[in-house]
Amino acid sequence: FYDEAEARKYTQNSRVVEIQSQMSERAVELLGLPEDRPCLLLDVGCGSGLSGDYISEEGHYWIGMDISPAMLDVAVEREVEGDLLLADVGHGIPFRPGMFDGCISISAVQWLCNADKKSHSPPKRLYRFFSTLYTALARGSRAVLQLYPENSEQLELITAQAMRAGFTGGMVVDYPNSTKAKKFFLCLFVGTSGTLPKGLGTESASEELHQAKFTNERTRFRNIKGKSVKKSRDWILEKKERRRRQGKEVRPDTKYTGRKRRPHF
């Protein structure tokens, strides 16, 4: 947790404020809210209310949840417009069914993958969070969760629990070819299977890779251990991505990546 001094330092850092504002703007944009009326939004991991400030600017109302008392104290000092709740989202979302028109979360959900206590089970905590969030959201609404996954396994764990809770949707990746600007947004639909928005900066990139949709059906082309089948398109793309992370030169992904060649006689 942050102490008081750290919380204030974090909130007063102009670079942090700018990044939070940009990500909040993008998350609200991905919610696809109606333009003709104000909405009530849930901000998961609201911290000192930087993301809530943007929600208020857009004319919407919000309730923020956070596990850090120090961060919430700073939010109260800053006189944010939203209501605040001190709570661990791993214990669930304690609001009545269908209460919210949408949910955003900036850089918070990946912390549910950590087991800070012996009693903590990341899959159970994630499922508890997603299943209660699904209930608290109005039918036809969305949740957009920006996160920093440590690796692909963590990403799969998070999306699998969201799917198990009833959500459909998928990952929207902005600027996938940039190391610094790359951002992951888990875009989830409640009760309806909407069209997944396009990630920014993906015009020249492979859409299949950067807009991984999921439904309640099992993922095809994966073997028993959950790994992509060797030599399949997914397997090749994963291998190329690993090499890029290692700083190696890799050919760009195209629609021909992983396509079977015709036999030559």
Pairwise CA distance, residues 148 & 184, whole Å: 7
Could you read off the pLDDT of 125-160 as tens digits, one per residue? Answer: 999 999 999 999 999 999 999 998 888 889 999 999
Q: Is the pLDDT of residue 204 over 70?
A: no
Q: Is the pLDDT of residue 212 over 60?
A: no
Query: Would you place residue 61 in the very low, low, confident or very high pLDDT band (cuts 50, 70, 90)?
Result: very high
The full set of domain ranges for the chain reads: 4-190
Looking up tokens 């990139």 gives 205
CATH superfamily of 4-190: Vaccinia Virus protein VP39 (3.40.50.150)
Q: Is the pLDDT of residue 209 over 70?
A: no
CB atoms within 10 A of CB 124: 13
Could you read off the pLDDT of 98-126 as tens digits, one per residue? Answer: 999 999 999 999 999 887 666 678 999 99
Give 138's contacts (C-beta < 8 A, 6+ positions apart).
Answer: 98, 99, 100, 101, 190
Q: Is the pLDDT of residue 211 over 70?
A: no
Pairwise CA distance, residues 140 & 166, whole Å: 13
Could you read off the pLDDT of 226-255 as tens digits, one per residue? Answer: 556 667 788 788 878 877 777 788 888 887
Q: Per-residue pLDDT averaged across 66-91, rounded?
A: 94
Give 259's contacts (C-beta < 8 A, 6+ positions apart).
Answer: 233
Could you read off the pLDDT of 26-50 as tens digits, one per residue? Answer: 999 999 999 889 999 999 999 999 9
